[in-house]
Structure 1
Amino acid sequence: MLNQRWGKIQKYVNKFSGCFASRTARNESGKTEQDKIADAKRMFEVQEKTRFTLDHAWILLRHQPKWIQIVQELDSKTNNYIDIDEDMNTCGNNSRPPGRKAEKRKLKESTDQLV
């Protein structure tokens, strides 16, 4: 029974942690941590169609090293990180297209040659 209960706690606290992380990542000015927690609770309620009632568990778990490690492992399994340097090298032509002024100058030179 304890394993089942822990599974439910872990599932809901993980989902709430994700909501809180997304609200924290927005870095909205003037918002306190309590405001971010309230926003995360609203976001959780919209997503899960139920209120988050495991505040006590989240408060105990959120700064524990073992919990942080579990969350990082889950993030590494679910997120596919893109190597920007690798993608930049595979993009064929890296030169910038001509700007508006350059296009106008080129058009004017070609019309001057026709006249």
Structure 2
Amino acid sequence: MVKSGGYVNLVMSQGPFHLDSCDHLLFTGQSSGVSTVKERRKWSLKEDLILIGAWLNTSKDPIVSNEQKVGAFWNRIVEYYNSSPQLVGTTPRELGPCKQRWARINEGVCKFAGCYDMALREQRSGQNENDVMKSALDIFANDQGSKFNFEHAWRELRHDVKWCSTYLEKDKRKPTDSQGDGEGAVPEPYH
């Protein structure tokens, strides 16, 4: 339904539309037969880090472990997030926005982790950590067509098993006879 001036009434349209940005409006239902609209809150770096901490702590809980259903898992994350002393005085976040934000963070960090691995493999002698990071950011921008906006999240998650560099892990292994030609293997002492 297009109105004059190019306005599209999204409430009445039948087609799907995607919210790719945190800046869009959120339709919250009806009040007295009229749709109510409120502005979607942006996530701050501090809120992202609290959400990441909530996800990590909940996913690594040794008592509950993986014996929890998805709904219970996310309810625990939201409860942990909203109970953070760093968020005192702010409006609590609901389950949906927390899951959506985590999905965006996770997707971005996973993509960037691959770019960082590639930059490590291409690292030349004399390049430092900053050079590798710049190269990884360039690779991401070329591959994705956009800037990587979750560096703060990647720095928080990068040492976790799910996101750590596979290149460094492969590099640290020492070859044995069963892994190749035996070059570099330690010979057995003579008796």
TM-score category (smaller protein): 0.5 to 0.7
TM-score of the pair, normalised by structure 2: 0.34
Please name the residue that 2:157 is paired with. Answer: 61
Task: Give the whole-Å Cα distance in 1 for the aligned partners of 2:123 and 2:146.
Answer: 26
TM-score of the pair, normalised by structure 1: 0.55
RMSD: 1.7
- Decide which structure has greater helix share: 1
> Which ranges in structure 2 are unaligned for 5 or more consecutive residues?
1-96, 165-177, 179-191
> Which ranges in structure 1 are unaligned for 5 or more consecutive residues?
73-84, 86-115
Please name the residue that 2:134 is paired with. Answer: 38
- 1:51 matches 2:138: no
User: Is the radius of gyration larger for structure 1 or structure 2?
Assistant: 1
Off by >4 Å, runs of 4+ in structure 1: none
Please name the residue that 2:118 is paired with. Answer: 22
Please name the residue that 1:111 is paired with. Answer: none
- Report the Cα offset of residue 25 of structure 1: 1.7
Among the aligned pairs, what percent are the same residue? Answer: 32
Does the aligned pair in 1 maintain the 2:110–2:163 contact within 8 Å? yes
- Decide which structure has greater strand share: 2
Task: Give the whole-Å Cα distance in 2 for the aligned partners of 1:44 and 1:54.
Answer: 12
